[in-house]
Amino acid sequence: MRVMLLCWLFLQTLTGAGAVTLVRDHQPVAAIHVAPAATLPERFAAAELQRYIQQATGAELPVRVGAPAPDEVAVVVALVSRLGDLGVTARGREKALGIEGLALRTAGNHLIVAGGGPRGVVYAAYDLLERLGYRWYWPGELGQVTPELADIEITDLDRVFEPSFVRRHAMGGPSDGWDDMQWGKDVVDWLVKNHQNFWLQNPPGEENAGFLAQRGGTYTKIGSGHNWQHIIPPARYFAEHPEYFAEVNGKRIPHGQLCLTNSEVQKLLRDYALSGAAQMAQNPDVMFVDMTQNDGDDWCQCAACRAIDDRDPSTHADIVFWALNPIAEAVAAQYPTALLHTYIYSGSANPPNWIKPAPNIHCEQTNYCYNYGASFLNPNSGPGTTFRANVDAWTPLCRVRGIYEYFGFYNWLEALPVTYYRLSEEVQYYKRIGVHGFYSETQQRWSTNHLLYYAFSRVWWDHRTDVPALIEEYCRLMYGPAAAPMHRFTMALETAGGPDRYLSGNEFDLPRLFTPAVRAECRTALDEAKALAAGNELVKRRLAFLELGWRYTELHLEAMEAHAAFRRAPGAETKAAAKGAWQAFVDYFSELQGTHAFDRNDLQHFRRRAENELAAYTLDLTSLPPGEVSYQDGLYDGGKARLHGRVEGFYDGVWGLSLYARGNGSLTYEFGAAAGHVWTEARLSLEASWREGLTSAIEWSLDGATWEPLAENRRVSSGEPFDLTSRVAGQPRFLVRVRYASTLPDEVAAVHAVGLKGLIE
Ligand SMILES: [Zn+2]
């Protein structure tokens, strides 16, 4: 009988089967064991298990040092390499785990919680806690879902897991600094719990030393984005060596790209790469060395560069890799595991037809402004299909490729609903084509975008994550009695505009996305949720946090729509209504202060923008006070043309004032000084298009009766302002008019922006 039992136990150990009871009826049954020489992350993982199991059950499992007895019920927490110290034999798959891989298994009386490296063991602890029902949807206590359990019994668990992607980076800490230390720590803690692993910040202060080390540390890199300008700073080199820098239109300029055929430039880049690779060899946390082009374009047009760069005129990536590949080879010769890092982006976005990146260059491809709304795998995603073509074209060329996202690089604070249509489909595709990892520019908009942050963290961790199920679970676990209306709320936003929608990321997408119908549906659902949560303090507080951002959305959209109503029917009544709506929106910002609904700096930025919109309602261009005048209106959706000027014939197109087929339009501004004052300087700038089939005239006048031309039948850009100073100096007022007539059968955008800089004395 005894022999039989031993055999049975032996079999259980081999298959990872068994049942381990950690807690029974709120009483501890198991102890947590760590090795005598356990590292910080191993001890932290054990402490987190102890803390959260106690929160869920009331039972405090003791933490003990050393191997448990075979008949003792124990949770064994260790690096795989240290399992032997605790009497556990690591298996082959466990021994093969990478530093972020994790293993969870039951073996006889023991539950093994192990990691391939420091973060792996911490992730293993959180993975177990998630199995118990814990979730962390946003930073801090409010975003945490805590299960309430009387018993914990783990049965037949055998899990060995490696993250789907190596790099998972969207944020490193609180984006608005550490003034609120608790919030800052909560953000980093949330990032770790949701497996972000790059450039995580340690909270400042001696008392926080070890905060990140406990959590297994972080990947880093040498250098920062767009760092050619830091490797070869114009401030240091341009005066003496203009030849290091790009020649543009016959002139060397300090702030473009580098002259990559210059041998000194190549040497400086190579020295930087080699020194970075040497640091990388000393520090396994360094993932790569940045060798990234400057932002913007301005590629070198010198004869030597053009001879390389023009071989494929569709891209500048050819000269980038022509310059970086020999450097990468020099690095590989000395540091075989080092990686360089560069962008395939903007001027280098298209793949070159004659050269490919060296295998030790991590190429990060930016998903840049193609279509934020639809998945690029959706054949109806418009410009998204361009991005897909580019993604596919680079696949055979890059050995190591990252994807650079913009899940927060956005011109609004409202929700960015890309979780449902885009995220899982795209990320699964990236997994299939062997993508290494992700970075996303992500401002922190926790009230409106926490589900997106949570969801992309999860799919980057495990590309098989079922996103619709994740959304359903989020609603159920966070909102309990209010789950059903909150699911309606969430899905109304996620599916607004349909799967094929086009979002450029510009603010004027907002009214198309958050239509009155969608907002009404969300408001009804939210109010229903609030009523259902009446007896539940925690759910009420969660809904209140979410409503901070939703109220912002409502007030902003109401103001934008009131402005649109004024444009459609300019008049005192529509003007007063719009002014009131902007005022209500501006006033609302003070309610958001200190709530962490949005990043504080972001909030200031958007508040200024709202205040400018409000100010437009009181600005009278015909009676300007003395001093400098600086007026600018991008005429997107008509802009402020009807507030500040007179519009006839044009309609409000997305890209500016537009003409109907075979239509006529005119736009007139009167620029006047307040009584007793005169203009002393005035420079008018316009962006206005022209092509065959259009007749256009830009004119000025002192009295509105006699007009003189400034330009006719040509495209004008704001870069070549019309200096009116000699014409209007000493005058109290002048007028400017833009006239168009079209013989074209299509509608056409005509005037895109208007600006005036001047002085009144
Ligand atoms: Zn050059």
The pLDDT score that the predictor gives to residue 5 is 39
Q: How far is the CA of 251 from the centre of ligand 1 (A)?
A: 11
752: exposed, middle or buried (Cβ count in 10 Å: 0-12, 13-18, 19+): buried
**List of E strands, 598-648:** 627-634, 646-648
pTM here is 0.91
* pLDDT score of 6 more than 60: no
* pLDDT score of 407 more than 50: yes
Q: How far is the CA of 395 from the centre of ligand 1 (A)?
A: 29
Number of continuous H segments (helices) and E segments (strands) in the chain = 23, 31
Q: How many CB atoms lie within 10 A of CB 553?
A: 24
Six-digit token string for 66: 């050393």
CB 760 within 8 A of CB 679: yes
Place 569 in a pLDDT band, splitting at 50, 70 and 90: very high
The pLDDT score that the predictor gives to residue 371 is 87
Range 168-174 average pLDDT = 96
Q: How far is the CA of 244 from the centre of ligand 1 (A)?
A: 8
Residue 317 has, within 13 A of its CA and on its CB side, a CA count of 27
Q: Which domains does the chain have, with CATH numbers?
A: 2-161 (3.30.379.10), 219-346 (no CATH), 627-760 (2.60.120.260)
Q: In what order do the strands lie in the sheet with 340-344?
A: 167-169, 437-440, 400-405, 361-366, 340-344, 286-290, 220-222
Q: How far is the CA of 307 from the centre of ligand 1 (A)?
A: 9
Phi then psi for 587, rounded to 5 degrees? -60, -30
Range 185-189 average pLDDT = 98
Each residue's pLDDT tens digit, 612-655 = 999 999 999 999 999 999 999 999 889 999 999 999 999 998 88
The pLDDT score that the predictor gives to residue 588 is 98
Tally of residues, the chain: 761
Range 292-320 average pLDDT = 97
- Distance separating alpha carbons of residues 47 and 214, to the nearest angstrom: 10
Q: How far is the CA of 267 from the centre of ligand 1 (A)?
A: 15
Q: How far is the CA of 288 from the centre of ligand 1 (A)?
A: 26
Nearest to 362 by CA among 225, 253, 218: 225
Rounded to 5°, angle at Cα 568 from 566 and 572: 35
Each residue's pLDDT tens digit, 205-235 = 999 999 999 999 999 999 988 999 999 999 9
- Distance separating alpha carbons of residues 8 and 205, to the nearest angstrom: 53
Please, where are the H alpha helices in 617-734? 641-644, 725-728
Each residue's pLDDT tens digit, 465-507 = 999 999 999 999 999 999 999 999 999 999 999 999 999 888 8
Residue 506 identity (one-letter amino acid):
N
Q: How far is the CA of 510 from the centre of ligand 1 (A)?
A: 43
Place 564 in a pLDDT band, splitting at 50, 70 and 90: very high
Each residue's pLDDT tens digit, 664-673 = 999 999 999 9
Q: How far is the CA of 527 from the centre of ligand 1 (A)?
A: 62
CB 28 within 8 A of CB 50: no
Q: How far is the CA of 352 from the centre of ligand 1 (A)?
A: 18
709-743 b/e (C-beta count within 10 Å ≥ 16 → b): ebbeeeebebeebbebeebbeebbbbbbbbbbbbe
- Distance separating alpha carbons of residues 67 and 244, to the nearest angstrom: 63
Six-digit token string for 288: 């790569």
Q: How far is the CA of 272 from the centre of ligand 1 (A)?
A: 20
- Distance separating alpha carbons of residues 4 and 14, to the nearest angstrom: 16
The pLDDT score that the predictor gives to residue 3 is 38
* pLDDT score of 10 more than 70: no
521-549 b/e (C-beta count within 10 Å ≥ 16 → b): bbbebbebbbebbeeeebbeebbebbbbb
Range 256-262 average pLDDT = 97
Q: Say which DSSP state 91 is in.
A: P
Place 301 in a pLDDT band, splitting at 50, 70 and 90: very high
Q: How far is the CA of 615 from the centre of ligand 1 (A)?
A: 47
Cα 236 to Cα 233, 241, 324, 640, distances in angstroms = 5, 9, 22, 44
CB 222 within 8 A of CB 290: yes
Q: How far is the CA of 306 from the centre of ligand 1 (A)?
A: 7
The pLDDT score that the predictor gives to residue 70 is 85
The pLDDT score that the predictor gives to residue 506 is 85
Reduced to 3 states (helix: H, G, I; strand: E, B; else coil), residue 605 is helix
* pLDDT score of 353 more than 70: yes
Q: How far is the CA of 257 from the centre of ligand 1 (A)?
A: 9
The pLDDT score that the predictor gives to residue 376 is 96
Range 104-123 average pLDDT = 97
* pLDDT score of 1 more than 70: no
User: Computed from CA positions of residues 378, 382, 384, 389, in that sequence, does the dihedral angle turn out positive or negative?
Assistant: positive
Q: How far is the CA of 333 from the centre of ligand 1 (A)?
A: 27
Helix (H) or strand (E) holding 92: helix 92-95
Q: How many CB atoms lie within 10 A of CB 755?
A: 16
Cα 637 to Cα 567, 658, 745, distances in angstroms = 9, 9, 21
Q: How far is the CA of 301 from the centre of ligand 1 (A)?
A: 6
Checking phi first, is residue 638 left (phi over 0); if not, alpha (psi -120 to 50) or beta?
left
* pLDDT score of 4 more than 60: no
Each residue's pLDDT tens digit, 701-714 = 999 999 999 999 99
Q: How far is the CA of 224 from the centre of ligand 1 (A)?
A: 24
Place 375 in a pLDDT band, splitting at 50, 70 and 90: very high
Range 133-150 average pLDDT = 98
* pLDDT score of 681 more than 60: yes
The pLDDT score that the predictor gives to residue 17 is 58
Q: How far is the CA of 351 from the centre of ligand 1 (A)?
A: 20
Helix (H) or strand (E) holding 222: strand 220-222
Range 8-17 average pLDDT = 43
Q: How far is the CA of 720 from the centre of ligand 1 (A)?
A: 28
* pLDDT score of 533 more than 80: yes
Residues contacting 557, CB < 8 A, separation 6+: 510, 511, 514, 519
- Distance separating alpha carbons of residues 754 and 733, to the nearest angstrom: 17
Range 335-354 average pLDDT = 96
Q: How much is the mean pLDDT over the chain?
A: 95
The pLDDT score that the predictor gives to residue 654 is 84
User: Computed from CA positions of residues 186, 190, 192, 196, in that sequence, does the dihedral angle turn out positive or negative?
Assistant: negative
CB 77 within 8 A of CB 30: no
- Longest CA span, the chain: 114
In the chain, pLDDT over 70 holds for what percent of residues?
Answer: 98
Six-digit token string for 378: 């959706």
Reduced to 3 states (helix: H, G, I; strand: E, B; else coil), residue 680 is strand
Phi then psi for 193, rounded to 5 degrees? -60, -30
Q: How far is the CA of 537 from the centre of ligand 1 (A)?
A: 65
Q: How far is the CA of 259 from the centre of ligand 1 (A)?
A: 4
User: Computed from CA positions of residues 550, 551, 554, 556, in that sequence, does the dihedral angle turn out positive or negative?
Assistant: negative
471-487 b/e (C-beta count within 10 Å ≥ 16 → b): beebbebbbbebbebbb
Q: How many CB atoms lie within 10 A of CB 448?
A: 22
Q: How far is the CA of 368 from the centre of ligand 1 (A)?
A: 27
SS (H, E, C) 136-202: ECCCCHHHEECCCCCCEEEECCEEEECCCCCEEECCCCCCCCCCCHHHHHHHHHHHHHCCCCECCCC
In the chain, pLDDT over 90 holds for what percent of residues?
Answer: 93
* pLDDT score of 9 more than 70: no
Place 392 in a pLDDT band, splitting at 50, 70 and 90: very high
| Pairing mode, strands 110-115 and 74-79 | parallel
